[in-house]
Chains A and B, each alone.
Chain A
């Protein structure tokens, strides 16, 4: 069937075009096929990256198109690295990344381990658990804002019911101490299923005969977990941590919807600061420099992590 289609296409190709194609080597043809993709990547990924690098050394402002653009050397970088507010935003980001990853990994792996037991109805529960991940962050952000509402929110009522503290005093989004945790809770709720899926793939990839051999050796369940399950699933767990780490480092939507960086600047993660500088204060050169610093930080950390991941895999 496929040959017939290919034959008919070949026959339909005009002789002049066919002659040209015949003259192209396999390598040339390969380049011909991938060139549209490469051009697209260059246009929308590589060129903006180099453009941003260039802008980061200038005083360019996108809202002053008529102003002369001056080269300011490393001034933007120096200013960012010496800005206390930027370091506070980085600390806030680190807090958010650390706690979300820790909770998502612990809960995600536990869920995956339970689902892997293949109890009755496990397929149904897997689907239910995956639902939060399938929702749009805009939807999640908005409905959690209502859930956190101290006067009408279910979350505040639930906490009030358990703790006895009046619901109106539980300002998850307005309290300086609680607001960072409110974002950690929502992100964990939404993305734990993703970690669970990757861990589940890891657990399912462990050959059954290894457990059978362990059974023969009379290894306890605990021993099997520590000596077989965890080490063999570890590369998958690490992969999940890598994906979530990169995602959460640049987290924007959820924070913007839930707190907008507030109260004050207590939940202002780096991406919110970047957006404010780039699109509200219109410091394009400055924000380009900040974006490059963030890119280098994520890229560097991810590279170190991938090397560690490869070592774990080789063990």
Chain B
């Protein structure tokens, strides 16, 4: 009996000790939170080098885009400790900085000699700074992204289609440089028979639930002259958001939706766009640049069959594109901030950034993107550079969520449901946004 008791005690102690040891071994494991998409897989691969170098294990919490904001903003708002590092959307920066979710990185950058001048300026403003254009940094630019276009180069180069197009529109069928050209091309391909299959003009963002239609419509509106506010008087929106040029831009987006999208594309965002392009349904496809590496590799539509172009110019020659992408931040509720900062330091390294690009991530480091070999490194590299040079972003205010909700509703009501006019939609948007800023005490 006594020996049995001893044996039991011994085994229990051994088990306890082994668990404790393993807990110690994993005590420094970091959890990184991000969206579930292709670049996240590349980051998992890349982070293996970090573990090899430092012995710090990496765990990942990836959530699909449709739930990404809900899930992680809930986590941050409840001061959760799930994420030590978070790659949060660019629009979260204001709220996360003001509500104390992110650790301010200025001192750390100074101590580690990480200079924001080494990163693409638009990404620093878009992903790191709050307030914008001030030297207050809350994230390291991690994943550059921007809305651009892919097109079926193989269809565009078919002689019979080129001939037919030239006869109809009087110019050579090629990647469009203006939105007018884009619409003509989309109209041309709409319900055209190619290789015995009916195809459609373009896939554009129309999603209602999260941010889809706002990203798509803004991508067009910027180049038509839309402005969020009076440049000289912050938060004065009347006459800027709903200017005549903005109205024309929104009318154009609706016309593009009505004339040239595939049937049933009333709730389409990144995934649906990729599906439409990959399945050979559309001639052109609006999407964030992160989708390009995957499309380039696709057997059916990739390789020589795919081409890329930056967002075209508007009627006055203005050319802008909607910024995507994110910065990586340290969560202020994490108990492992020191290890998390080590990760940021490692990630900022030039070699790591170069590998990040080669694995399918979009580096924001000047040394990588300004490398002479960069434009030729991938077929889409030049378009990415061109697009990143013309970016604009949605509000990054702490109240970005209700601001986004309002634009989602106004744009979808007009563009997809056909309710009211573009002017009504934009006037309504000014009213909604004014209400939000009044609630915030900013007006």
Contact = CB atoms under 8 A, between A and B. Distances in A.
Interface of A: 59, 62-66, 85, 148-151, 168-169, 171, 173-174, 176, 256, 259-266, 276, 279-283
A262 B264 CA distance: 12
Which of B69, B70, B281, B412 has most A Cβ within 10 Å? B412
B178 interface: no
A169 B265 CA distance: 12
Nearest to B432: A85
A169 to B, nearest CB: 7
A275 to B, nearest CB: 10
Interface string B387-413: 000000000001001101100010011
Contacts, number: 94
B135 interface: no
A151 B266 contact: no
Contacts of A279: 70, 74
Nearest to B413: A264
Contacts of B73: 63, 282
Interface size class of B (residues with CB under 8 A): 20 to 34
B335 to A, nearest CB: 19
Given A263-B266, A282-B401, A65 B417 contact: no
Which of A148, A169, A264 has most B Cβ within 10 Å? A264
A262 B267 contact: yes
B416 interface: yes
Q: From DSSP, what is the main secondary structure of chain B's interface residues?
A: loop
Contact of B412 (A62, A63, A264): A264
A276 B266 contact: no
Contact of B264 (A59, A63, A174): A174
Which of B74, B409, B439 has most A Cβ within 10 Å? B409
Interface string B95-120: 10001100000000000000000000
A256 B267 CA distance: 12
B430 to A, nearest CB: 16
A71 B401 CA distance: 23
A64 B79 CA distance: 11
B267 A265 contact: no
Q: From DSSP, what is the main secondary structure of chain A's interface residues?
A: loop
Which of A148, A151, A173, A266 has most B Cβ within 10 Å? A151
Contact of A260 (B208, B265, B402, B404): B208
B419 interface: yes
B418 interface: yes
B99 A63 contact: yes
Given A64-B99, A171-B264, A264 B419 contact: yes
A260 B409 CA distance: 11
Contacts of A148: 264
Given A262-B417, A264-B419, A282-B401, A151 B263 contact: yes
B402 A281 contact: yes
Contacts of A264: 208, 409, 412-414, 416-419
6 contacts: A66-B99, A174-B416, A256-B209, A261-B208, A262-B208, A264-B419
A151 B264 contact: yes
B401 A260 contact: no
Interface in B266-285: 266-267, 281
A86 to B, nearest CB: 13
Contacts of B417: 176, 262-266
A66 B77 CA distance: 10
Given A63-B73, A65-B79, 15 more contacts: A64-B99, A149-B264, A169-B263, A173-B266, A173-B267, A174-B416, A259-B267, A262-B416, A263-B412, A263-B416, A265-B412, A280-B70, A280-B402, A280-B405, A282-B401
Contacts of A265: 409, 412-413, 417
A66 B207 CA distance: 33
Contacts of B77: 62-63, 65, 282
Contacts of B281: 151
A283 B402 contact: yes
A66 B398 CA distance: 13
